[in-house]
Amino acid sequence: MSDESTKPRGAETESSRAGVQPPCPHSLWPAVPPPVDVPLYSTGEHACAYLPGRAARTRAFLASHMPQELYHDFLDAGFRRSGLVIYQPICPGCRACVAIRVPTGRFQPSRSQRRCLRRNADLRVSVGRPQATDEKYDLYRRYLAGRFPGGPMTDGREEYERFLYESPVETIECCYRDAGGRLLAVGICDVCSRSLSSVYFYFDPDEKRRGLGTYGALYEI
């Protein structure tokens, strides 16, 4: 983990905020503290990228490197990752973001999930080190335009690479292609000491019939 911490623009430390403002009620302040003492910075409230009319807020720190076991401990404490930023949602009055843990040894796909697997049996999946390409970035832009039209998620190439292709931990990339070699989906996963953590999954918005989001989750399991 990096010993260097940077303060996001517009952020304020929890200690400085507490001295000048009354406590702000949050419905989901983390019950479990960070596994180690790190300087956490809180962002200001901003529009939620997923739910209309909702405000989002996170507390975070920057890490250039982190051991697998420690990263797993942060995941257990409710943290997630975006690029080199390790963050925890602390949105006021909202509990919509829920981390789902799947015990893979006991997992049994449902009937609808088995149908999804059959629909995508023609896909070929390659797993390797993450690598940003024009082909993937074009798919990512079309995914954002199809899933979040007019929304705030409109990353340029530099932001895209920082978000998905900078990582403080061991990371793998799954590329899903049809029989003709066309790229339909990309999944980014972190390799932890006791788990695989799905970071992000984006896919061709024109292939809704396939249920690629469900298929990607099933493949990762």
- Contact predicate 31/133, CB 8 Å: no
pTM: 0.80
- Contact predicate 130/165, CB 8 Å: yes
The candidate with the shortest Cα–Cα distance to 62, out of 139, 5, 146, 21, is 5
Confidence of residue 165 (pLDDT cuts 50, 70, 90): very high
E strands, the chain, where? 12-13, 41-42, 46-47, 55-56, 58-62, 80-82, 85-89, 124-128, 171-177, 183-191, 196-203
Confidence of residue 13 (pLDDT cuts 50, 70, 90): very low
pLDDT at 12 exceeding the cut of 70:
no
Q: Which long-range contacts (CB under 8 A, 24 or more apart) does 160-163 make?
A: 160/132, 161/132, 162/83, 162/84, 163/82, 163/83, 163/200
- The least confident of 19-28, 31-40, 158-167 is 19-28
CA distances from 124 to 59, 158, 162 (A): 38, 28, 27
pLDDT at 48 exceeding the cut of 70:
yes
Domains of the chain: 22-99 (no CATH), 104-220 (3.40.630.30)
pLDDT at 15 exceeding the cut of 60:
no
124 vs 35: which has the higher pLDDT: 124
- pLDDT for 88-144, tens place per residue? 888 888 878 878 889 999 999 999 999 999 999 999 999 999 999 999 999 999 999
The candidate with the shortest Cα–Cα distance to 64, out of 150, 4, 141, 129, is 4
Confidence of residue 150 (pLDDT cuts 50, 70, 90): low
Residue percentage of the chain with pLDDT more than 70 = 83
Report, as an integer, the average pLDDT of 26-50.
75
Amino acid at 1: M
pLDDT value at position 64? 94
pLDDT value at position 220? 96
The angle that helices 134-147 and 157-165 make with each other, rounded to 10 degrees, is 100
